[in-house]
A = this chain, B = another copy of it.
């Protein structure tokens, strides 16, 4: 897919919680085609301590409204600056980068999208995409506490939404992999993104139930386009770049201890 360097303009910055912001970007031009699971490398202007671009998942893309959504979790100075963007400001992005989630081969496959923390970001667009292609979508979203479970109604547009919180303030108490859903039903496909321990737990469950599992990694990156070789993960084929051969990997390809 052809990559672009685009200056998009901020249409809205929605404060979802003290940590999470939704940046809605738009453009005078038609946005390019992007697949679920892909990401952008965002240039952060106006932060003295942010030198490199920041990789950010495509949270959602609305071709009708010509909107690109980024979900930003404030971690350090770069994401802090992004969370301060105001309507009308311009943001420079390289996109679309990386590979994408693969949809199930069988049209009647049961799929579960498991997200934790900021890892929910690529799942909204994936859910929308799967629904559009006729799949029945289930989301399982986990967070530490209620306030970090954001935008649930957005997910509900595309499927059933199940939640867990570690403190029990919303949904079932515990970690995502402890949700009763996983005891009751059998899923054929798992798509997951979030903290590594969470993804490993999902992968373990998938292996056990002989399901297919794709994970999206968040290795630190410098270039985002396969030039620097900084972002590698170890796979059955040796070190490969997460930015070009990922961020989505089938767990059978990774050398994870699970």
Chain A residues with a Cβ under 8 A of chain B: 45-48, 50-51
For this complex, 8 residue pairs linking A to B, each with C-beta atoms less than 8 Å apart, are A45-B48, A46-B46, A46-B47, A46-B48, A47-B48, A48-B48, A48-B50, A48-B51
With a cutoff of 8 Å between Cβ atoms, the chain B residues found around residue A45 in the complex are: 48
Minimal beta-carbon separation of A89 from chain B (angstroms): 12
As for how many copies of this chain the complex holds, the number is 2
With a cutoff of 8 Å between Cβ atoms, the chain B residues found around residue A51 in the complex are: 48
A196 CA to B178 CA in the complex, in Å? 74
Contacts A47-B48, A48-B50, A48-B51 aside, 5 further interface pairs with beta carbons under 8 A come to A45-B48, A46-B46, A46-B47, A46-B48, A48-B48
A51 CA to B48 CA in the complex, in Å? 8
Minimal beta-carbon separation of A247 from chain B (angstroms): 27
Most-contacted residue by chain B among A48, A50, A51 (CB, 10 A) = A48
With a cutoff of 8 Å between Cβ atoms, the chain B residues found around residue A47 in the complex are: 46, 48
Minimal beta-carbon separation of A33 from chain B (angstroms): 32
A51 CA to B47 CA in the complex, in Å? 11
A45 CA to B51 CA in the complex, in Å? 15
Minimal beta-carbon separation of A196 from chain B (angstroms): 31
Minimal beta-carbon separation of A81 from chain B (angstroms): 8
A53 CA to B47 CA in the complex, in Å? 16
Minimal beta-carbon separation of A91 from chain B (angstroms): 15
With a cutoff of 8 Å between Cβ atoms, the chain B residues found around residue A50 in the complex are: 48
With a cutoff of 8 Å between Cβ atoms, the chain B residues found around residue A48 in the complex are: 45-48, 50-51
